[in-house]
Amino acid sequence: MDHFAYRDRTLLCEDVPVPELAEKYGTPLYVYSEAALLARLTEVQTAFKAADPIIAYSVKSNGNLSICRLMAQHGSGFDVTSGGELHRALTAGGSGKKIVYAGVGKSDAEMRDGLAKGVFLFNVESEAELHALGAVAQSLGVKAPVALRVNPDLPPKTHAKTDTSVKGVKFGLDIETVVDVARSVVGHPGLAIVGVHMHLGSPILSAEPYRQGAAKAVQLVKAFREMGHDIRFLNMGGGFGISYRKQEALPAAAFAEVILPAVKETGCQLVLEPGRFIVGNSGILVSRVVFTKETGGKRYVIQDAAMNDLIRPTLYDSFHRVWPVTPAADVPTWPEDCEAAIPNTQPVDVVGPVCESGDFLAKGRHLPALSRGDLLATFSAGAYGMAMASNYNSRLRAAEVLVTGRTHRLIRRRETFADLTACEDDCLR
Ligand SMILES: Cc1ncc(COP(=O)(O)O)c(C=O)c1O
């Protein structure tokens, strides 16, 4: 979290003290660092430079328009998985020439829209989808550019809810049958099979699954070409992990080392779909302590961010560092091991106001004594944070702020009660 650092015992995002942001914009508040976002995008672009890749930022990880615009302005394309995400990518300034359309359940309308907007690659995940896309393209008098998404049957071991390349998940075409599927559409008037796609899961902390996946992809590229398909794209998806706890993640260069040789062997253009790697550690969630309480022998810190703001802990058992924005002098500002029993701390559950026992940001975490009004930072919250936020319990979704050096600006205003009922007001009788 290079661009989030403590100075004089106060957390800063770039050069802006986080308490100043909380004061101005209120809490809960997502705070992003522009420098961090660009540094991570540049890291991927540099690591894979030799392959002249299309880096398609994965909109699902954080679709904020201003973040997407920043990506587009700095050379990124987009990986979208719905009509809504395509709308975001285009509104932010993206071009179909750098947009890849993923998803197991694209509707005809979404296919039509993607074709009309000139999406350069559709990742196709089933035979049924392939034929539906072919028919839609034919009806428009065009050929849909397709990468067949293969499930390579590799276990990167992320989490049961985020493993996408183990046998039996809903994603992709089975590696045993994908060659037959490719053969069955040779010469199809509505389909141009131009690529191979795989997305191995997320977050992945080892390069080995990519090495194995890329080797399988090379074989498929060869097989598809032998049957006459003009394969030009090798899409290795996203999934590069980030450090949530210590320094457990790999640099982009480690993934490049195992992917680039495969790209070279095939002569394909590389496509990557990173999301978390770019935005995950570029954002934090700032919240304010509402109450503390002890019950059943446990201590609770109740603060104003909840599972509707950041669902990852309860959905995936995910770990996020949580630490005071202005820690007292008797605790470290950045404990090396944030899971350890740090001196002058006590174990607490950090929970939110939502009416669910599963509403927590951290459990059994060693934190210093906290009081009503204290600010907390939940780190590594940039990816799959706001993107998965909801209005559950009719809570208003948080505001988002982008920091650039000493300046900051709102990139999504806090919702209002009017926003909450906007889609229902006209239906009220
Ligand atoms: C097909 C596909 N591509 C890319 C991504 C982005 O993954 P990550 O944010 O881990 O890079 C996902 C995430 O689910 C995905 O399903």
Give the tens place of pLDDT for each residue, 139-180.
999 999 999 999 998 866 666 766 667 777 888 999 989 999
CA 417 / ligand 1 centre spacing (Å):
33
Mean pLDDT of 192-213: 95
Can you give the pLDDT at residue 158?
66
Q: What are the strands, taking DSSP E only, across 152-190?
A: 173-174
Q: Does the pLDDT value for residue 411 go beyond 90?
A: yes
What are the residue boundaries of the structural domains of the chain, listed by start?
4-32+280-424, 34-277
Q: Do 4-32+280-424 and 34-277 come out as alike in CATH topology?
A: no
Q: Is the dihedral of CA 35, 38, 43, 44 positive or negative?
A: positive
* Nearest ligand 1 atom, CA 162: 14
Mind telling me the catalytic residues?
355
Please work out whether the CB of residue 237 comes within 6 Å of at least one atom of ligand 1: yes
User: What distance in Å separates the CA atoms of residue 259 and residue 219, rounded to the nearest whole number?
Assistant: 14
User: What distance in Å separates the CA atoms of residue 32 and residue 71, rounded to the nearest whole number?
Assistant: 13
**Which of 149, 165, 202, 270 most suits a substitution to test ligand 1, by most atoms within 8 Å of the C-beta?**
202
Place of tokens 């599963």: 358
CATH fold label, 34-277: TIM Barrel (3.20.20)
Of the candidates 77, 193, 89, the residue with the CA atom closest to the CA atom of residue 137? 193
* Known binding positions for pyridoxal 5'-phosphate: 239, 273-276, 384
Can you give the pLDDT at residue 169?
84
Cα–Cα distances in angstroms (integers) from residue 144 to residues 37, 128, 132, in the given order: 32, 15, 11
Please work out whether the CB of residue 273 comes within 6 Å of at least one atom of ligand 1: yes
Of the candidates 356, 349, 379, the residue with the CA atom closest to the CA atom of residue 289? 349
Q: Does the pLDDT value for residue 3 go beyond 90?
A: yes
pLDDT category of residue 1 using cuts at 50, 70 and 90: low
Can you give the pLDDT at residue 163?
66
Q: Does the pLDDT value for residue 271 go beyond 90?
A: yes
* Known binding positions: 239, 273-276, 312, 316, 356, 384
Can you give the pLDDT at residue 272?
98
Tens of pLDDT, residues 62-76: 999 999 999 999 999
CA atoms within 13 A on the CB side of 345: 24
Can you give the pLDDT at residue 348?
97
Beta bridge pairs of residue 414? none
CA 63 / ligand 1 centre spacing (Å):
13
Of the candidates 343, 310, 306, the residue with the CA atom closest to the CA atom of residue 327? 343
Higher pLDDT, 313 or 155: 313
Residue nearest to atom 12 of ligand 1 (CA): 238
Can you give the pLDDT at residue 157?
64
Place of tokens 């690659």: 121
CA 29 / ligand 1 centre spacing (Å):
24
Please work out whether the CB of residue 274 comes within 6 Å of at least one atom of ligand 1: yes
Please work out whether the CB of residue 275 comes within 6 Å of at least one atom of ligand 1: yes
* Average pLDDT value for the chain: 96
CA 199 / ligand 1 centre spacing (Å):
7
Architecture of domain 4-32+280-424: Beta Barrel (2.40)
Of the candidates 182, 258, 167, the residue with the CA atom closest to the CA atom of residue 215? 258
CA 421 / ligand 1 centre spacing (Å):
32
Please work out whether the CB of residue 238 comes within 6 Å of at least one atom of ligand 1: yes
Higher pLDDT, 172 or 305: 305
**Which of 273, 312, 316 most suits a substitution to test ligand 1, by most atoms within 8 Å of the C-beta?**
273
Residue nearest to atom 1 of ligand 1 (CA): 199
Q: How many CB atoms lie within 10 A of CB 85?
A: 23
Cα–Cα distances in angstroms (integers) from residue 38 to residues 92, 95, 208, 282, in the given order: 16, 19, 27, 9
* Nearest ligand 1 atom, CA 277: 11
Please work out whether the CB of residue 201 comes within 6 Å of at least one atom of ligand 1: no
pLDDT category of residue 339 using cuts at 50, 70 and 90: confident
Can you give the pLDDT at residue 414?
98
Please work out whether the CB of residue 175 comes within 6 Å of at least one atom of ligand 1: no
Q: Does the pLDDT value for residue 270 go beyond 70?
A: yes
Angle formed by the axes of helices 208-226 and 252-266, to 10°?
20
Can you give the pLDDT at residue 292?
98
CA angle 224, 146, 115 (to 5 degrees): 160
* Nearest ligand 1 atom, CA 164: 16
CA 237 / ligand 1 centre spacing (Å):
6
* Nearest ligand 1 atom, CA 273: 4
Beta bridge pairs of residue 376? 287, 324
Please work out whether the CB of residue 277 comes within 6 Å of at least one atom of ligand 1: yes
User: What distance in Å separates the CA atoms of residue 101 and residue 149, rounded to the nearest whole number?
Assistant: 11
Please work out whether the CB of residue 102 comes within 6 Å of at least one atom of ligand 1: yes
Cα–Cα distances in angstroms (integers) from residue 344 to residues 290, 298, 328, 369, 372, in the given order: 21, 17, 10, 8, 19
Question: What are all long-range contacts of 50-55, with beta carbons under 8 Å and residues at least 24 apart?
Answer: 50/256, 50/260, 50/264, 51/259, 51/260, 51/263, 51/264, 51/269, 51/270, 52/269, 52/270, 53/269, 53/270, 53/271, 53/272, 54/98, 54/100, 54/120, 54/269, 54/270, 54/271, 54/272, 55/272, 55/274
CA 92 / ligand 1 centre spacing (Å):
19
Residues above pLDDT 70, as percent of the chain: 97
Tens of pLDDT, residues 94-134: 999 999 999 999 999 999 999 999 999 999 999 999 999 99
